[in-house]
Amino acid sequence: MSYKVLVLNGSPRARGCTARALEELIRTLHEEGVETELVHIGKEDIRGCMSCGFCLQNGRCVFQDKVNEAAALFEQADGLVIGSPVYYGSPNGTTLAFLDRLFYSTHFSKHMKVGAAVVSCRRGGNTASFDVLNKYFTISGMPVASSTYWNQVHGFSAEDVEKDLEGLQTMRNLARNMAFLIRAIAAERGRTGLPRVESDVFTSFPDGK
């Protein structure tokens, strides 16, 4: 059985720090027998969601750009990796705008697709950015792949990241754990099916109760 992971690089630098971290992860996923598709979104002209409701009726975002292209790949994937540099203690704006629209405009089930966030920075802001990215997974019923440290690398350039031996080790361990989770979930899906999802309750307190 073949497995596939969609990898999104939110950095505008196709060969920068984030790319080097993702390269280590992708190589290890391939060693584990998992296919990958890498999509660079960092230099795309991505605007944020404008809450127009088009996707609720049509199943896709009203803006015909890279988001809709990635949505089709995401639907067929067994897992999703989101890589982002840190800007002012948070993922960069392009990445966040892209993810807001990707997750909101798609109506296929993301339940039990495996998610992993990868962040890079020069010094600080990694863990805060890591937390932000993981929230896209945890609101969608996606198990989060972990590693032997938070999924991060440090450096001002790809050459700096080469010296972050623990960071690269973290990427390799993350890839192995992700591959294991994907295989385990697929095996259990075939044996007993996926967990039942309840969705009848939607608390909005319209009467102030």
3-state SS string for the chain: CCEEEEEEECCCCCCCHHHHHHHHHHHHHHHCCEEEEEEECCCCCCCCCCCCCHHHHHCCCCCCCHHHHHHHHHHHCCEEEEEEEEECCEECHHHHHHHHHHHHHCCCCCCCCEEEEEEEECCCCHHHHHHHHHHHHHCCCCCECCCCCCCEEECCCHHHHHHCHHHHHHHHHHHHHHHHHHHHHHHHHHHHCCCCCCCCCCCCCCCCC
Q: What integer pLDDT is reported at residue 188 of this predicted model?
A: 96
pLDDT digits over 151-187, tens only? Answer: 999 999 999 999 999 999 999 999 999 999 999 999 9
Q: What integer pLDDT is reported at residue 204 of this predicted model?
A: 84
pLDDT digits over 26-46, tens only? Answer: 999 999 999 999 999 999 999
Q: What integer pLDDT is reported at residue 206 of this predicted model?
A: 72
Predicted TM-score of the model (pTM): 0.95
- For domain 3-192, which architecture applies? 3-Layer(aba) Sandwich (3.40)
pLDDT-based confidence at residue 208 (cuts at 50, 70, 90): low
